[in-house]
């Protein structure tokens, strides 16, 4: 007899097998991660256990530019950067989170314990999202995790010169060629006329009325400024604002025709920049003009941009090609947004350092260029000059302590002279824009010249080109003291005139 009950059960099981078979096949596929609009590769794929997604700790460290270290003695793993430290223990559901900035610590209980998979420490994805304030979504059909960082709205305030920032409503990822076509017309060459020399730097236009952003160190102390466009057109320019701490300066193209200039419309915060992001650098490095290079963000790390100021800035460190002349050039992402201004180059490491766009707003909050700004610029440069003078003096003193007439003494004194002669170029070329400061660079050069004569006399007597006389030595040393006293006297007078001496990190040595 035909068993309808058995047949019905068989058909039901068969149908269920077809229903669940695709899910089982899908579950065997690896989980993919899209992080800030790009595919995020990991050497060990994320896994799911009991409905909880886990991601390798090593991948987290790479994504957020963190260092990672395993401590066998405590069977723990630590991830840390300048801001936070995360310590996890395999097979435990407790994590220790430390805020490096304020020294606070707290214990966090995970939804599932950490475990080892294929040699990697796996931590819950939800914990990562909460710690770094990520939005996370799950596409079950493609087994894809979508993670994105918060993108705060850009400040909308404007200034007398700069219109309010506009949000990038059509934000889309572009090819390198598209970004270059969009950005390159707004990049400029900054020509610096200093006496008979013409030096070059980089910059870029940020508003249609001809506002140009560059580094403070590119333009401070420059006698005449000119902006050259990619078209070959050349315009005089003037400094509108300057911030020596963040090494940024805002210039204005002097043009009375009412024309509009191509400019970079959108910018993005540092929070949108992550290790591994593709970036494109524009500038005039070395002998190149309007050079475009592509690289990736290697990390974000704090650095003091000017030794005169006691503040570290988080810099975007990348491996796109930069060199002397790149300073002030723009660094952009693949959305055509400028994210930083190239400020430093580590030639030996083949790395570029860019000031994040965030600090452009610090520049905007400052006053328009005036006597205080000119004084601050001069002080920033003279701090570096004085450091070199001290380095030269230390080398000379080393020679004094060496055996009289020895090769060691000769080498030390030649080194001392080379340092002081090299630094003389910088204050002699520096031109303040306000007459109250005109005398300071000249007086600094006079003090350097007196020291050059003094060092040269010692070298000449050592090498037999002059006869040693104590009176002559005393006279030359007295000239140094007179010149230094004259400079210090003028420095003190100007600092009282400006009235912001207390803003400085330290007095000049």
Tokens at residue 507, please? Answer: 């007095």
pLDDT at position 15: 41
- 187 located within any domain: yes
Instruction: Give me the percent of the chain exceeding a pLDDT of 70.
Output: 87
pLDDT at position 335: 93
> Measured on CA atoms in the order 121, 125, 131, 136, is the torsion positive or negative?
positive
Given a cut of 90, whether residue 269 has pLDDT beyond it is no
292, 438: one domain:
no
Given a cut of 70, whether residue 24 has pLDDT beyond it is no
Q: Which residues of 72-106 are buried (b: 16+ CB within 10 A; e: fewer)?
A: eeeebbbbbbeebbbbbbbeeeebebbeeeeeeee
- 380 located within any domain: yes
| CATH number, domain containing residue 499 | 1.20.120
pLDDT, greater one: 499 or 46: 46
CA distance 311 to 82: 14
- Average pLDDT of the chain to the nearest whole number: 85
| CATH number, domain containing residue 34 | 3.30.457.10
184, 291: one domain:
yes
Exposed, middle or buried: residue 141 (CB in 10 Å: 0-12, 13-18, 19+)? Answer: exposed
pLDDT, greater one: 272 or 340: 340
335, 201: one domain:
yes
Averaged pLDDT, 164-175: 78
**Longest CA pairwise span in the chain (Å):** 134
Given a cut of 70, whether residue 304 has pLDDT beyond it is yes
pLDDT at position 34: 79
294, 405: one domain:
no
CB 331 within 8 A of CB 97: no
Write out the H or E segment, with its range, that includes residue 104. none
301, 243: one domain:
yes
pLDDT at position 8: 44
User: Whole domain around residue 485: which residue ranges?
Assistant: 371-503
Write out the H or E segment, with its range, that includes residue 60. helix 57-63
Given a cut of 70, whether residue 163 has pLDDT beyond it is no
393, 499: one domain:
yes
CA distance 469 to 459: 13
Tokens at residue 460, please? Answer: 């000449």
Q: What is the DSSP letter of 305?
A: S
CA distance 272 to 224: 37
pLDDT digits (tens, 9 = 90+) for 354-404: 999 989 988 888 888 989 899 999 999 999 999 999 999 999 999 999 999
Averaged pLDDT, 437-446: 95
3-state secondary structure of 261: coil
Given a cut of 80, whether residue 310 has pLDDT beyond it is no
Given a cut of 70, whether residue 21 has pLDDT beyond it is no
224, 353: one domain:
yes
CA distance 209 to 258: 8
Averaged pLDDT, 494-502: 72
Domain boundary among 300, 335, 365: 365
pLDDT at position 146: 81
CB 252 within 8 A of CB 240: yes
Q: What is the DSSP annotation of 181-212?
A: HHHGGGEEEEEEEETTEEEEEEEEEEETTTEE
- 243 located within any domain: yes
pLDDT at position 196: 61
Name, of 224-238, 299-313, 488-502, the range with top average pLDDT: 224-238
Given a cut of 70, whether residue 263 has pLDDT beyond it is yes
pLDDT at position 199: 75
Q: Do β-strands 211-214 and 248-253 pair in parallel, antiparallel, or remain unpaired? A: antiparallel
CA distance 96 to 146: 26
Q: Nearest to residue 296, comparing CAs of 265, 263, 339, 357?
A: 339
pLDDT at position 243: 93
Strands (E) in 319-467, as ranges, are 330-332, 338-346, 351-356
Measure Cα distances from 158 to 331, 386, 480 in Å: 22, 38, 50
pLDDT at position 455: 97
Averaged pLDDT, 334-339: 94
CB 430 within 8 A of CB 378: yes
Given a cut of 80, whether residue 501 has pLDDT beyond it is no
- 233 located within any domain: yes
Tokens at residue 467, please? Answer: 């006869």
Given a cut of 50, whether residue 1 has pLDDT beyond it is no
pLDDT digits (tens, 9 = 90+) for 78-133: 998 877 889 999 999 999 998 877 788 889 999 899 999 999 999 998 888 888 87
How many of the other CB atoms lie within 10 Å of CB of 13? Answer: 9
pLDDT band at 4 (very low <50, low <70, confident <90, very high): very low
Domain boundary among 365, 391, 407: 365
Averaged pLDDT, 139-157: 68
pLDDT at position 60: 85
Domain boundary among 365, 389, 407: 365
414, 324: one domain:
no
pLDDT at position 10: 39
What is the tally of structural domains in the chain?
3
497, 441: one domain:
yes
139, 210: one domain:
no
198, 347: one domain:
yes
pLDDT at position 337: 93
213, 252: one domain:
yes
pLDDT digits (tens, 9 = 90+) for 476-487: 999 999 999 999
CA distance 433 to 499: 18
CB 455 within 8 A of CB 492: no
pLDDT band at 258 (very low <50, low <70, confident <90, very high): confident
Q: What is the DSSP letter of 267?
A: B
Tokens at residue 139, please? Answer: 């596409």
Given a cut of 60, whether residue 281 has pLDDT beyond it is yes
pLDDT at position 274: 85
Report, in angstroms and rounded to the nearest whole number, the Rg of the chain calculated over CA atoms: 31
| CATH number, domain containing residue 333 | 2.40.10.120
pLDDT at position 11: 39
């Amino acid at each position: 007899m035909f068993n309808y009950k058995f047949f019905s059960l068989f058909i039901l099981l068969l149908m269920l097998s077809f229903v669940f078979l695709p899910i089982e096949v899908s579950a065997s596929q690896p989980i993919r991660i899209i992080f800030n609009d790009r595919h995020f590769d990991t050497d060990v794929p994320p896994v799911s256990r009991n409905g909880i997604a886990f991601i390798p700790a090593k991948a987290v460290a790479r994504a957020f530019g963190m260092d990672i270290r395993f401590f066998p003695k405590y069977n723990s793993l630590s991830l840390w950067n300048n801001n936070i430290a995360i310590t996890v223990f395999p097979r435990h559901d407790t994590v220790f989170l430390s805020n490096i900035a304020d020294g606070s610590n707290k214990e966090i209980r995970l939804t599932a314990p950490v475990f080892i998979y294929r040699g990697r420490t796996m931590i819950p994805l939800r914990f990562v999202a909460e710690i770094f304030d990520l939005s996370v979504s799950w596409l079950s059909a493609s087994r894809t995790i979508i993670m994105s960082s918060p993108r705060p709205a850009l400040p909308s305030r404007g200034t007398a010169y700069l219109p309010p920032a506009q949000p990038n409503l059509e934000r889309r990822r572009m090819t390198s060629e598209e970004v270059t076509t969009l950005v390159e017309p707004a990049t400029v060459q900054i020509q610096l006329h200093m006496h008979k020399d013409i030096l070059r730097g980089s910059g870029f236009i940020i508003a249609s009325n001809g506002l140009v952003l560059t580094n403070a160190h590119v333009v401070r102390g420059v006698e005449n400024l000119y902006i050259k466009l990619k078209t070959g057109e050349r315009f005089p320019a003037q400094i509108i604002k300057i911030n020596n701490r963040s090494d940024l300066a805002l210039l204005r193209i002097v043009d009375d025709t009412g024309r509009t200039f191509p400019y970079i419309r959108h910018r993005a915060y540092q929070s949108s920049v992550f290790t591994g992001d593709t970036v494109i650098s524009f500038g005039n490095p070395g002998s190149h003009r309007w050079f475009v290079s592509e690289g990736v963000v290697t990390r974000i790390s704090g650095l003091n941009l000017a030794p005169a100021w006691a503040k570290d800035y988080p810099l975007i460190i990348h491996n796109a090609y930069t060199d002397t002349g790149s300073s002030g050039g723009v660094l952009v992402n693949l959305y055509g947004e400028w994210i930083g201004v190239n400020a430093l180059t580590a030639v030996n490491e083949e790395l570029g350092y860019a000031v994040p766009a965030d600090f452009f707003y610090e520049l905007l909050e400052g006053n328009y260029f005036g006597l205080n700004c000119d004084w601050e610029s001069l002080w920033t440069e003279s701090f570096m000059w004085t450091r070199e003078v001290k380095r030269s003096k230390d080398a000379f003193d080393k020679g004094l302590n060496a055996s009289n007439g020895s090769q060691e003494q000769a080498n030390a004194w030649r080194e001392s002279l080379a340092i002081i002669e090299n630094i003389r170029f910088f204050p002699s070329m520096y031109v303040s824009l306000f007459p109250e400061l005109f005398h300071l660079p000249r007086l600094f050069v006079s003090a350097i010249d007196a020291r050059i004569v003094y060092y040269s006399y010692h070298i000449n007597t050592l090498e037999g080109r002059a006869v040693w006389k104590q009176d002559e030595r005393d006279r030359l040393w007295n000239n140094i003291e007179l010149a230094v006293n004259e400079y210090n006297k003028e420095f003190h007078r100007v600092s009282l005139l400006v009235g912001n001496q207390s803003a400085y990190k330290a007095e000049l040595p």
